[in-house]
Structure 1
Amino acid sequence: MASALLSATHFLPSKSGEFGRLWLRSCRSSIRGKMLPTPLARRDPAGCGGGFVISSVLRRGATKRDTVIPDPDYRIPIVLLGLAGGLAYSNNLLPAAPVGLLGLLLLFQTTRVRFVFDDEALEVKVGEQLQESGENVFVGGKNRWKYSTFVNWELWWPSFPILVYFKETQTNPQGQVHFFPVIFNGKQLYDVMVERAGPSKNSGPGES
């Protein structure tokens, strides 16, 4: 992964008086008004003042990453609808029809489909309430893939991203390929993919 994870270590005693241990007095020990749960605190082995010392179990909470949802981007459906309109204006109705239908489909999908990057996986969700998208219609299984199963990924093309490709081994141990139209902010998508799934082979997109 491109980003290093922070970790919490034990607070150790220091004879020189430097900051080494966080004391929580037993009669008033609290964090934001709440007592520390017992799994997260342990008695000071020296028994000084009935204090508690924070355990390294806190490390888990410190390393959890925020959920990221790239903003929708309507540029691709708008370009397709514009192209369809131009073809229809020039009496090229045969190619205008499928291009226009594709543009309308992507316009609809842009309003409802979201890529949700949580702490451990990428998941495709739908709607304002971020409901589950159900089973993948092409390869089966849930539309959720752990970053640890990503083999590689690419964003085509960096200056105007149209497709995002990734290959994972969760769906198929031999490797399963996925293609999605980039109906999200390309810069945000690239940045979070680099952070969660490692760098791609191509360069990143420009500012959207």
Structure 2
Amino acid sequence: MAMARALLSSPHLLLCSQSREALASKRNGLCPSSRLFGTRNFVSRGTHSHGSFSPIASMLERKAEKRKTVIPDPDFRIPIVLLGLAGGFVYQDKLLPAATTGLLGLLLLLQATRVRFVFDEEALEVRIGEQLQESGENVFVGGKNRWKYSTFVNWELWWPNFPILVYFKETQTKPEGQIHFFPVIFNGKQLYNVMLERAGPSKTSLPK
């Protein structure tokens, strides 16, 4: 009502003619422009221009800024290096380290073909296979393998020139913070760039 009164009383918006007809209309509380177009419609339009359109524009802008889902490509360098080391140990007749290194290499090779890091608009989630099936509950700390970026305390990509481990700490699992380590079986550059974009810079801010 306050806006309607302001619009109706504004001398720049409603100008009445000084003719006899206009003066008569003015005595009745109306001017020709409001009789012709309808005061109610005029006020309604003014309200829409300042009320409805702004939220719609803001909503469209937010949709335009929506971040795409990013899934870093698999990287098999670490499993291949481990399997190569296992072969070297076998050549030297060091069977125990050969078996240990070889099994770890095979495990990471399998994981690289099936485990995916999915970075959606609000969280990092671990999913399985090309169909991106849910990975279930975390076997070490419980809860779903999905963590919101807003809960990240810090993260690091160790040895960025040949990334081996990615570490992050989050407060979603428990308030005092939960630490996670993952072998980098994904494209290290893609992983670093999306972590930097979604979770902010790490404390070391590497690689440059």
TM-score tier by shorter-chain length is 0.7 to 0.9
Please report how far the alpha carbon of residue 202 of structure 1 lies from its aligned counterpart in structure 2 after TM superposition: 2.7
Identify if the C-alpha distance between structure 1 residues 84 and 47 changes in structure 2 by more than 3 Å, giving closer, same or farther. Answer: closer
Q: What is the distance in 1 between the residues matched to 2:118 and 2:156?
A: 18
> Counterpart in 2 of 1:19?
none
Please report how far the alpha carbon of residue 203 of structure 1 lies from its aligned counterpart in structure 2 after TM superposition: 4.5
Residue 92 of structure 1 aligns with an amino acid whose one-letter code is K
Q: What is the distance in 2 between the residues matched to 1:45 and 1:175?
A: 51
Q: What is the distance in 2 between the residues matched to 1:130 and 1:44?
A: 49
Structure 1 unaligned spans of 5+ = 1-42
> Counterpart in 1 of 2:148?
146
1:173 to 172, 175, 184: 175
Question: Could you state the TM-score of these two structures normalised by the residue count of structure 2?
Answer: 0.73
1:156 to 155, 158, 161: 158
1:128 maps onto 2:109 in alignment? no
Alignment of 1:60-71 (within 5 A): 60-71=62-73
CA contact (8 A) 1:158 1:202 kept: no
SS in 2 for 1:45: helix
Q: What is the distance in 2 between the residues matched to 1:139 and 1:46?
A: 54
Q: How many residues align?
A: 161
1:105 to 97, 104, 107: 107
Residue 82 of structure 2 aligns with an amino acid whose one-letter code is L
Of Structure 1 and Structure 2, the greater helix share is in 2
1:80 to 68, 79, 82: 82
> Counterpart in 1 of 2:46?
45
CA contact (8 A) 1:73 1:110 kept: yes
Residue 164 of structure 1 aligns with an amino acid whose one-letter code is V
Q: What is the distance in 1 between the residues matched to 2:78 and 2:45?
A: 61
SS in 1 for 2:79: helix
Q: What is the distance in 2 between the residues matched to 1:127 and 1:45?
A: 54
CA contact (8 A) 1:85 1:96 kept: yes
* 1:178-202 deviation line (CA, Å, top 9, x unaligned): 0000000000000000000011123
Question: Could you state the TM-score of these two structures normalised by the residue count of structure 1?
Answer: 0.73
1:185 maps onto 2:187 in alignment? yes
Higher relative contact order (CA 8 A, sep 6+): 1
Q: What is the distance in 1 between the residues matched to 2:112 and 2:98?
A: 21
CA contact (8 A) 1:125 1:131 kept: yes
Residue 123 of structure 1 aligns with an amino acid whose one-letter code is E
Identify if the C-alpha distance between structure 1 residues 113 and 45 changes in structure 2 by more than 3 Å, giving closer, same or farther. Answer: same
> Counterpart in 2 of 1:18?
none
Identify if the C-alpha distance between structure 1 residues 45 and 74 changes in structure 2 by more than 3 Å, giving closer, same or farther. Answer: same
SS in 1 for 2:161: coil
Q: What is the distance in 1 between the residues matched to 2:154 and 2:140?
A: 20
